[in-house]
Structure 1
């Protein structure tokens, strides 16, 4: 399997993505942002389609749209009133824009499929280097704000009492989240990105109670999903994203069952 360059590239890219998503996902779950993550994935789809329309790489278009919109959508989502409706409207708008850009770019349907569901076996070594750099930026950025972000995410009232700059902290995290969405979409696609950014972390919280423990376990669950998913995809020639989604869902329901078992 590893004699093929595309499989080596796929495993390298997936490993970096699982590490980033596991780490960032802990705070996505803690800050109750799964719905926002899903919205950013649709915005990423529109950005990738826009990139093809104007002649830049889909990843660069995705980065452009998600970074700019993450702050705007994040500020909107902090308002409780009509939060879900507002984000749904933004999500629907960007899906429509994505379809429009695809139509205008005259690309084949396979391009849309790759954006929506990922195309990990088509990742080149150049893509791998770009993803490693972006993943490094996210990890360094997360480590720089880790202490204050942990305080704000798990004890918001205490963070306000200590007069932390929670507004700027939130903006910084949203930018890291936007980068994570753009990176991970290369594997599971924009429509399934919330899988790696939510399920591993949501599963981990049932087994451990420290933030660092959640992060390490979430990364482990993410690595298990992408590694086994790639292997099964190689054996069966079926979509890798299907196997990743299935494995992460099985882990989550197993964690939920474990939690209920312990409660009795």
Structure 2
């Protein structure tokens, strides 16, 4: 199975190790992963700020980059949600580009979505003796409907104690440009989210969007809370490594 990695801006520039974990996990299940270097931003920041013409041009570039891919997999529900829900809207008046946008939508998946629903994998053979709590990001949960997939993957990790996050469906306050435009409100939201994370007694906070994890992790770090913050792909890979080292 041929898969193209849609790395996203945040992972590419700040958290490349997340992309590496995604690739290594997909390789374990027979996927040949490539990385189209022409990919750039999905256009979400411009779109959310009202610059639809600029977002449309950026979207054209992403569509071209993945035009010949069989599957496109991203470690971000937010960017995947942008493609799924807003690319058809951006090109509603351009039939040729609308067709290309819809073709991209059909083959683009968030990481856990692809692992569970396309590859049919829920148990990656991971072992991890950690207390973990999971934050479901707004875009993955609400735009893409990614609700059960991360939980299915986490529940199969041997030794892991999954602790329910209070008010888990509340936004963390990031929201991209929202955190800049509404800084005070954003800070209040992330403080509340960080407090809920701490109340679980978890050692690890896991999620599927690095925007949310960067925001919550920054607050936890500022408050000197020793809670590791990890993308789901990183957690799964760490568990796989522990499992393999235990068998040696």
TM range, smaller chain: under 0.3
Task: Please identify which structure carries the higher helix content.
Answer: 1
Indicate the structure whose relative CO is greater, using CA pairs within 8 Å and at least 6 residues apart: 1
TM-score by length of 1: 0.26
